[in-house]
């Protein structure tokens, strides 16, 4: 489940138990990506605050657009946990006739994306693989798709969140496990 010790739900006490309840699944389980923080509840709280802000709080970017960024960044970082988890979330958000987009993104196929969606994924992909090469031209390409500066900020925030989350998952060995809730669930405070 992880390379380091984790505190399971039934052994959590105090602040950790409260955070597990706050950020856990409706069935009482807690995803492994969160349980790897169990030795430091403040770290768990900070991770969740960044996740909720980046992916669930109101934004001019749709939730689906932010999940597309998450799937693309996670694929590039080799993080199967987040790629699979967020592709499932993306499928849940997309209308029936577009659900295949989630699987296509996992395979680096951008052909079914709108020009706006493609521009966002291309931007996030470059930010992930070559952050030192980002330039005004990358922002101008988004503006050419009528993407506003606020949307650009939120796209960068979503890509940056996944850079962080992917490294936590990969560095600590979190695995999608049987004890987790349904993939693609939304945290309680975002409902």
In tens, the pLDDT along 31-63 reads 999 999 999 999 999 999 999 999 999 999 999
* Per-residue buried b or exposed e for 50-81, using 16+ beta carbons within 10 Å of the residue's own CB: ebbebbeeebebebbbbbbbbbbbbbbbebbb
Given a contact cutoff of 8 angstroms between Cβ atoms, the answer to whether 169 and 80 are in contact is no
Supply the CATH number for residue 106's domain: 1.20.1290.10
135 in any annotated domain: yes
What is the rounded average pLDDT for all residues in the chain? 93
80 is a domain residue: yes
Residues written for the chain: 191
Tally of domains in the chain: 1
24, part of any domain: no
In a domain, 177, yes or no: no
Residue 121 lies in a domain: yes
Answer yes or no: is 87 within a domain: yes
94 belongs to a structural domain: yes
Mean pLDDT of the 65-72 span:
98
Range of the domain at 114: 63-167
Q: What is the pTM of this model?
A: 0.93
Percent share of the chain, pLDDT over 70: 93
12 lies in some domain: no
- Per-residue pLDDT tens over the stretch 114-159: 999 999 999 999 999 999 999 999 999 999 999 999 999 999 999 9
């Amino acid at each position: 489940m992880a390379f380091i010790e984790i505190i399971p739900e039934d052994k959590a006490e105090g602040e950790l138990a409260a955070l597990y309840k706050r950020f856990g699944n409706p069935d009482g389980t807690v995803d492994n990506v969160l349980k790897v923080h169990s030795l430091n509840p403040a770290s768990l709280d900070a991770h969740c605050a960044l996740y909720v802000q980046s992916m669930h709080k109101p934004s001019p970017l749709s939730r689906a657009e932010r999940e597309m960024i998450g799937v693309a960044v996670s694929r590039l970082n080799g993080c199967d946990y987040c790629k699979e988890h967020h592709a499932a979330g993306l499928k849940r958000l997309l209308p029936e006739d577009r659900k295949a987009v989630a699987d296509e993104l996992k395979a680096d196929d951008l052909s079914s994306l709108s020009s706006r969606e493609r521009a966002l994924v291309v931007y996030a992909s470059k930010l992930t693989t070559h952050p030192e090469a980002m330039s005004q031209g990358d922002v101008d390409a988004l503006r050419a798709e009528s993407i506003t500066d606020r949307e650009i900020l939120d796209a960068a925030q979503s890509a940056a969140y996944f850079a962080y989350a992917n490294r936590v998952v990969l560095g600590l060995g979190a695995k999608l496990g049987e004890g987790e809730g349904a993939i693609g669930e939304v945290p309680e405070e975002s409902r």
